Structure 1
Amino acid sequence: MDEVEVVVAHSERATLRVGEVFVKVDGHPTHLATEARAMELAPVPTPTVLWHEPPALALAAVPGTALGVLGAPSEASPAAWAAAGRMIRRLHEAPLPPWPGRPLADVEADLEQECEWLLAHSPLPSEVVQRNREIARGALRPRRPAFIHGDLQITHVFIEDDEVTGIIDWSEGGPGDPMFDLAILTLGHEERLEELLAGYGRDVDRGAIRAWWSLRSLTAARWLLEHGFDPDAPGCEFDVLRARMREGA
């Protein structure tokens, strides 16, 4: 019998792997239902749903390897990054799912709250927090919503032979800012942005992408610290924030 591998586990969610099957357990009453529905509607490769019995969802593994990991250079080719861009464009041009996205007012409130926490607890110099806070506010602009993944980390996009074989973890899928997806995928891998955009194409707001790099890193920091992750590891969120200081943008 295959061993049970704990992929991730914290107070909100656990994901287990047994062979080629992933089982997610989520205490929130709607997260897994939203994830299953988002995968059904998304016009891109997604994991096959094997069964869904709340509070658990079983998914088949997708072939290929992740585009990369946060904190290490991506070994994927420029062609693979361009393929990811084309797939994301396909998602963003799809009809909106029939549930609401997250209001910008909530995003703004989170930004202010998390920045105040960072300033009070001093894991970063105050000037780094304040400068990135200013940059992050550039993401809080009116925008036409698109069907977005909502948590498009580099480990959630799988590639084989320079083609996308699957995009996983859709619990945040819904209407939102398409620049957010592009920013999350390139967080810590800013040097691959142009390769991604070579496939994604037109109508890109690079300023908004940079703003989302700052906003995501600021708002994720406390959660990461409280759940045993290290945003100060090389190439991770705190390095992203420091980079904005070095480039002055």
Structure 2
Amino acid sequence: METVEVVVAHRERATLRVGDVFLKVDGDQARLDVEVAAMALAPVPTPEVLWRKPPALAIAAVRGTALGVLGEPSLASAGAWAAAGAAVRTLHEAPLPPWPGRSLDEIASDLDRECALLVAGGVLPAEVVVRNRQVAEVALRPWMPVFTHGDLQITHVFVDGDEVTGVIDWSEASRGDALYDLAVLTLGHEERLGDLLAGYGSDVDLDVIRGWWSLRSLLVVRWLIENGFDPASPGCEFDVLRARM
């Protein structure tokens, strides 16, 4: 008999694994709509959709292992990181999805709100928040929209040797900033940015990537705490923010 593994669970969604099948249950059907549509459009390896019956989506497991996990050194080779970079570049060069992404004004407003709440609640020292808000400012500039994954965490890219075998969790896919995807993938793994860019194959503004590291971390800290995750774990968001000091 197959055992049931809880991969992740919080107030918004849960993902279970039974053998080679992942079952995603989401309270927001629009997110599942985006996930299914994005996987159909993306020109990179994605999981096979087995069935969809709201509020659940069943997908097949992809071959290989995740590029790494936040808070631990990535054991993947430089070639695997370069392959991930090439896959991300392929995605960014694809036709735009038909739905929009978040506007610059929306992101800036969310950042202002989160910074104020982090300081008021004593979640982080004020000087850490202020400094990272300054670093994040560089990312808040107009960009040419591309097809972005939107939540390209290191655990969402699977490799087998130096081959990308699957990219998972597409519910945040939209039109967005290419450098945001690159920043999220290397969050907490700054030392692998060069390997990633070797495969991505174009010049990028490193200050903007650093800005997205700070911005992403500032935006997610309270959500992580409220949903049972620990951004203070070694190598995670608190350390990313402190590294800018």
**Other-structure match for 1:83:** 83
Partner Cα separation in structure 1 for residue 13 and residue 189 of structure 2: 26
Partner Cα separation in structure 2 for residue 10 and residue 232 of structure 1: 18
**Other-structure match for 1:197:** 197
Tell me if 1:54 matches 2:54.
yes
User: Where do 4+ consecutive residues of structure 1 move more than 3 Å?
Assistant: none
Aligned pairs (5 A) from 1:1-249: 1-245=1-245
Q: Which amino acid aligns with 1:169?
A: D
Give CA deviations for 1:159-210 in whole Å, capped at 9, x if unaligned. Answer: 0021100000000011000000000000000010001000001141211110
Kindly state the Cα deviation for residue 152 of structure 1 after the two structures are TM-superposed: 0.2
Greater alpha carbon shift after TM alignment, 90-99 vs 134-143: 134-143
Greater alpha carbon shift after TM alignment, 198-207 vs 142-151: 198-207
CA contact (8 A) 2:10 2:228 kept: no
Give CA deviations for 1:186-238 in whole Å, capped at 9, x if unaligned. Answer: 00000100010000011412111100000000010000111111111100001
Partner Cα separation in structure 1 for residue 223 and residue 28 of structure 2: 17
Kindly state the Cα deviation for residue 29 of structure 1 after the two structures are TM-superposed: 2.5
SS in 1 for 2:243: helix
Partner Cα separation in structure 2 for residue 118 and residue 174 of structure 1: 27
CA contact (8 A) 2:77 2:162 kept: yes
Partner Cα separation in structure 2 for residue 48 and residue 104 of structure 1: 33
Partner Cα separation in structure 2 for residue 155 and residue 35 of structure 1: 17
Q: Which amino acid aligns with 1:93?
A: E
Kindly state the Cα deviation for residue 123 of structure 1 after the two structures are TM-superposed: 2.2
Q: Which amino acid aligns with 1:3?
A: T
Q: Which amino acid aligns with 2:186?
A: T
**TM-score under structure 2 length normalisation:** 0.99
Count matched residues. 245
Identity of aligned residues (%): 69
Give CA deviations for 1:99-155 in whole Å, capped at 9, x if unaligned. Answer: 111111111111011100110111221111000001111111101000000000000
**TM-score under structure 1 length normalisation:** 0.97
Q: Which amino acid aligns with 1:184?
A: V
Give CA deviations for 1:34-90 in whole Å, capped at 9, x if unaligned. Answer: 100000000000000001111111000000000000000000010100000000000
Partner Cα separation in structure 2 for residue 116 and residue 123 of structure 1: 10
Partner Cα separation in structure 2 for residue 75 and residue 12 of structure 1: 31
Partner Cα separation in structure 2 for residue 128 and residue 34 of structure 1: 35
SS in 1 for 2:229: coil
Structure 1 unaligned residues grouped into runs of 5+ = none
Partner Cα separation in structure 2 for residue 104 and residue 50 of structure 1: 36
Q: Which amino acid aligns with 1:70?
A: L
Q: Which amino acid aligns with 1:234?
A: P
Partner Cα separation in structure 2 for residue 62 and residue 43 of structure 1: 16
SS in 2 for 1:225: helix
